[in-house]
Structure 1
Amino acid sequence: MDNYIAVNTPLLNGNEKKYLNECIDTGWISSEGPFVKALEEQFAQKMGRSYGIAVCNGTVALELALKAIDIQPGDEIIMPTFTIISCALAAVRLGAKPVLVDSDPITWNMAVDQIEAKITSRTKAIMVVHTYGLPVDMNPVLALAQKYQLKIVEDAAEMHGQTYYGKPCGSFGEISTFSFYPNKLVTTGEGGMVVTDDPAIRDKCQLLRNLAFEPKQRYLHEELGWNFRMSNLQAAVGVAQLERMAEFIERKHAMGQRYDECLKEIEGIQRPLAATDYAKNIYWVYGIVLDDDLMNGKALMQALHAQGIGSRAFFYPMHQQPVLLKMGLFANESYPVAERLARQGIYIPSGLALTQDEITSVSDKLKKILAKASVTC
């Protein structure tokens, strides 16, 4: 379709080609190339951490993080139901049990006030997942972790450059993870990062991501690891992206503000909260939630596609995932806020390459679709 506005297009017009050519010219294309270490060190510093461990995607970053903090079969990990399946997957694959809480209807983040009631003698960690643009309210979570001696795993996949009361997201708790998928603020195409301040956790992550080769003798293994390595090619793109992170953050803020201006008079939708006491929205994506009596998210996505506009559904809740239900998890559990967000929520084009004119075009077409739906409902 000509002039189709994709839901995400990354911005790759910095030093990406230069650094990739350097990899090719020097022959350093594997995980042993110098850009991997550079990305680890530079990214960890920007996130307020001592150590970074680069991996091949954000999903395995979560799995590595849980293994590194010694999550065992039967352990329970509290997490939001409204998130990507990677969070539950990381727990289940280690034999642990994800324990769910609902969402806050305003911020769309995990309902922090529901966490304490879910803590049992088997609870070992709280997985905090910052969602779409605003961070989780961390102080109450940190207080609970201290009270019950729980570990914090912070999934900051969508929060590059975001802060909570001025402290970087990705700097809370024992260990934090990031994704570098193309729709993220900093991308390596595919890729991820684990960050921590604990040298023992760093050493464990470095060992496990590299097939658990013993440091003193290659091809000798005392335990089973994974090949979760990031290539030098990927890291080269990441270093170039990281150079522009401050610029990208400002660009995201401007995009969110422009959408707010264009859509502020539309009735029947909930727009992202612009700010809380602890953070300004970074607008990783620009989501909207439709009133129940207007239309559902799937219908709106279809209407936008017909107008040449990409969009994407909100997360499908963990407690409704068929694969997890087949495992006997979450039987008869209900989380109404997350269910409504999944049914009525979508996000519209939000990639860094999106122009102001495209935002105006998306907004105008969205208004027409919703006006027509309002008349017919």
Structure 2
Amino acid sequence: MGVPAARIVFDESDRTAVAEAVAEILATGALTLGPWTERFEQAFAAEHGASHAVAVSSGTAALEVILRSVDVRDRDVIVPAVTFYATAGAVLHAGGRPVIADVDRATLALSPDTLEAALTPGTAAVVLVHIGGLITPDAEALRAVCNRRGIPLVEDAAHAHGSSLDGRAAGSFGLAGAFSFYPTKVTTSGEGGMILTESPELRDEARIYRDQGKGSFTTNHHVRPGYSWRMSELNAAVGAVHLRRLKEFIETRRAVARRYDAALAGLDGLEPVLEPAGCRSNYYKYVALLPPGVERAEFKRAVAEEHGVRLSGEVYDLPLHLQPVLAPYRRGPLPVAEDVCARQICLPVHSDMTEDEAEQVIEAVSAVHRRLAGQRP
């Protein structure tokens, strides 16, 4: 049997609970911004120790709503080069200009030095991204840099459901955090996103923006340039059911990651991106860097065709400043981001992964590494 790149886990009890919730929703006819949305918001906030949560249609929408709420129009927003396009896309759609910064090699995140190098007189916000569920130990230092300049720190926590640093949950280090419930995430609502914040003012703004900018749900009184960013009750029900499994899923994923850490330590030149001190990752992704000179496409082909193991998509194979659509915002080379994006792979980590599957991945990666690394010039 092969090991897939990703697997979405809803067991029989989950499916039954979702079906019952859907039947209830359809019977009432309350299909949007109803009790299941509120239930999901409250549960997700409680899971992360947050005071306020606002459910929206996607993680991208969550980030854009936050940036609109702090008003980045015609101003600069610092984003890391190692992230998904949507981080910069949300800046653009909110009317801002992405300023793309290099990252720290150990965490794939902004560092105080790379942030300072990217700051401009027109900086309106800074976006910290938790790649693969890892939270950089520099999170507090990054917030301190922002606080000194009166700039809000925003977390793109799309990967980081349930991750923490020194006991503090993702989404609690800045003014607000944006989470994604895309199907492959550790918990999913099918499609959807969530904003977490301690600010009641930002919560209220987010609720207005998500519903076409209306001052209230029941009026035709539009006070902001909002959009249709609501989460449906059906998605909220799926998310609320799946969230109940978050702790269990994280424990399984962390056990797989520990096996990978031990196995990869013996492979010369292959560098796992290790969990930083104080961080407790959800291991949405398990990232490792191939030795320089090893062709990634050939590595992935070999583990798939010769060993039945499919590696999940890189995070990411092309840094933001080299994305064609962001060419107008390119300022020059960002050497660390370019290097890690060229060499990174992601080993499969599933929320129900078996020991046999983890061992199959280890054997595949080890065998292909030995062969390809030995062929390097």
Hey, what's the Cα distance between the residues in 2 that align with 1:261 and 1:98? 38
Report the alpha carbon displacement of residue 122 of structure 1 after superposing the two structures with TM: 0.5
Report the alpha carbon displacement of residue 192 of structure 1 after superposing the two structures with TM: 0.8
1:254 matched to 2:252? The reply is no
Residue deviations 1:71-96, cap 9 Å, x none?
212x1111211111111101112221
The match for 1:54 is 55
Secondary structure in structure 2 of the residue aligned to 1:220: coil
Q: Count the aligned residue pairs.
A: 369
The letter for the 1-side match of 2:314 is A
The match for 1:369 is 368
The letter for the 2-side match of 1:318 is L
The match for 1:324 is 326
Q: Residue 164 of structure 2 contacts residue 170 of structure 2 at CA under 8 Å; is this kept in 1? A: yes
Hey, what's the Cα distance between the residues in 1 that align with 2:248 and 2:40? 18
Report the alpha carbon displacement of residue 26 of structure 1 after superposing the two structures with TM: 4.2
Report the alpha carbon displacement of residue 241 of structure 1 after superposing the two structures with TM: 1.7
The match for 2:103 is 103
Secondary structure in structure 1 of the residue aligned to 2:241: helix
Hey, what's the Cα distance between the residues in 2 that align with 1:223 and 1:302? 49
Q: Residue 53 of structure 1 contacts residue 195 of structure 1 at CA under 8 Å; is this kept in 2? A: yes
Report the alpha carbon displacement of residue 112 of structure 1 after superposing the two structures with TM: 2.7
The letter for the 2-side match of 1:322 is P
Hey, what's the Cα distance between the residues in 1 that align with 2:152 and 2:135? 18
Hey, what's the Cα distance between the residues in 1 that align with 2:319 and 2:217? 45
Report the alpha carbon displacement of residue 224 of structure 1 after superposing the two structures with TM: 2.6
Q: Residue 133 of structure 2 contacts residue 161 of structure 2 at CA under 8 Å; is this kept in 1? A: no
The match for 2:77 is 77
Hey, what's the Cα distance between the residues in 2 that align with 1:216 and 1:321? 38
Instruction: Go from structure 1 to structure 2 and tell me whether the alpha carbon gap of 1:90 and 1:26 turns closer, same or farther (over 3 Å shift).
Output: closer
Q: Residue 273 of structure 1 contacts residue 281 of structure 1 at CA under 8 Å; is this kept in 2? A: no
Deviates more, 1:18-27 or 1:104-113: 18-27
Alignment of 1:73-152 (within 5 A): 73=74, 75-136=75-136, 137-152=138-153
Hey, what's the Cα distance between the residues in 2 that align with 1:164 and 1:87? 22
Hey, what's the Cα distance between the residues in 1 that align with 2:175 and 2:314? 31
Q: What TM-score, normalized to structure 1?
A: 0.93
RMSD: 1.8
Hey, what's the Cα distance between the residues in 1 that align with 2:286 and 2:171? 21
Report the alpha carbon displacement of residue 166 of structure 1 after superposing the two structures with TM: 1.1
Residue deviations 1:82-136, cap 9 Å, x none?
1111111011122211112212112222233221232222111111111113202
The match for 2:227 is 226
Task: Flag as ranges the 4+ runs of structure 1 deviating above 6 A.
Answer: none
Secondary structure in structure 2 of the residue aligned to 1:339: helix
Report the alpha carbon displacement of residue 305 of structure 1 after superposing the two structures with TM: 2.6
Identity percentage over the alignment? Answer: 30
Q: What TM-score, normalized to structure 2?
A: 0.93
Gaps of 5+ in 1: none
Hey, what's the Cα distance between the residues in 2 that align with 1:36 and 1:16? 18
Alignment of 1:115-264 (within 5 A): 115-136=115-136, 137-215=138-216, 218-264=219-265
Deviates more, 1:79-88 or 1:19-28: 19-28
1:8 matched to 2:10? The reply is no
Secondary structure in structure 2 of the residue aligned to 1:193: strand
Q: Residue 261 of structure 2 contacts residue 274 of structure 2 at CA under 8 Å; is this kept in 1? A: no
Report the alpha carbon displacement of residue 29 of structure 1 after superposing the two structures with TM: 6.3
Report the alpha carbon displacement of residue 248 of structure 1 after superposing the two structures with TM: 1.6
Hey, what's the Cα distance between the residues in 2 that align with 1:260 and 1:120? 39
Hey, what's the Cα distance between the residues in 2 that align with 1:177 and 1:302? 34
Report the alpha carbon displacement of residue 165 of structure 1 after superposing the two structures with TM: 1.6
Secondary structure in structure 2 of the residue aligned to 1:265: coil
The match for 2:276 is 275
The match for 1:337 is 336
Report the alpha carbon displacement of residue 199 of structure 1 after superposing the two structures with TM: 1.5
Report the alpha carbon displacement of residue 66 of structure 1 after superposing the two structures with TM: 0.5
Secondary structure in structure 1 of the residue aligned to 2:133: coil
